[in-house]
Amino acid sequence: MKFIFDLDGTVTAQETLPLIASHFKVEEKINALTKETIKGNIPFMESFIRRVHILGKLPVSEIADLLMHVKFHNKVFDFIQMHRDNCIIATGNLDCWVEKLVAKIGCEYYTSISKTSNNKVVSLTQILNKETIVKKYQDLGEKVIYIGDGNNDMEAMRIADVSIATGLTHLPAKSILPFSNYLIFNENALCRQLNQLF
C-alpha cells in the first residue's frame, strides 16, 4: 500500500509559491495565478510555466532556504514519519526549490525538474504528471491512496484506488470532488481516515 500526498496545502500548512512571491515582493502576480489555478480556471501546466517564468529569475539558494521553514500540518507530518516506507510526496513544484523541504519530511518524493545556472532557473525540463506516479505503483501491485486538494491532483485522483480531497489549507478544487472517495477538512479527521485505510 502506498499513500501519495500532494505537498502544498496538504502536507504543508502554507502554499509555497505565494510564500516565495511574498518574500520577494512579487505576490500580486503570483497570488492571482495560484488562486485561479487552485480553482481550476487556469490549467496547471500553463499557470506553472507562467509562475516559474516570474520566480525563475530569483536566487534558487535563497528560495530553497526560505522553504525549509515552511510550516507543516503536524499530524499529517507525523503520520508520514511513522510510515515513511509507505508514503510518497508528489509535487509539481521544482526540485531545486523544494529539495531541502522534502528532505525534512524524509520519505520518497517526485518533483518537476529544472535546469539551473548561476543560481537561477533557466528552464523546465520536466513538469511532473502526478498520475504517472500513481500508475507506477499500481503497476507494481500496490494499492494507492492519493491525498490532494488542487486541480493538478485531478487525474491522479481519478485513477487512484482511493482518493481523499482535503480542505486543510484552502477549499479543495471543485474539479477533484467527483473523483474523491472522501472529503476531509481537518487533519485529525484525515489522520483517522489514513490510519483506518492503512
Q: How confident is the model at residue 77 (pLDDT cuts 50, 70, 90)?
A: very high
Residue 126, pLDDT > 80, answer yes
Per-residue pLDDT, 40: 74
> What CATH number corresponds to the domain at position 182?
3.40.50.1000
- What is the grid cell recorded at 66? 526560505
- Tell me if the pTM is above 0.75: yes
Q: How far apart are the first and last CA of the chain?
A: 8
Q: For 24-31, which contacts have Cβ atoms below 8 Å and span 24 or more sequence positions?
A: 24/55, 24/58, 26/54, 26/55, 29/54, 30/54, 30/55
Among candidate residues 152, 153, 191, 180, the one with its CA nearest the CA of residue 73: 191
User: Residue 69's Cα: distance from chain center in Å?
Assistant: 16
pLDDT of res. 26: 85
**Which has more confidence, 24 or 28?**
24
Percent of the chain predicted with pLDDT > 90:
75
* pLDDT beyond 90 at 15: no
Residues paired with residue 89 on neighbouring β-strands, in sequence order? 5, 109
Read off the C-alpha cell for 107.
Answer: 520519505
More confident residue, 31 or 97: 97
Backbone angles phi, psi at 10, to 5 degrees: -105, -55
Residues in the chain: 198
- Domain interval for residue 85: 2-197
Do the beta carbons of residue 89 and residue 7 sit within 8 Å? yes
Q: Is the pLDDT of residue 47 over 90?
A: no
Mean pLDDT of all residues in 7-23: 91
Q: How many domains does the chain have?
A: 1
Question: pLDDT per residue over 132-168, tens digit each?
Answer: 999 999 999 999 999 999 888 999 999 999 999 999 9
In angstroms, the CA 45 to CA 111 distance is: 14
Closest CA to 154 of 58, 24, 52, 44: 44
Question: Which region holds residue 156: left if phi is over 0, alpha if psi is between -120 and 50, else beta?
Answer: alpha
- The pLDDT of residue 71: 95
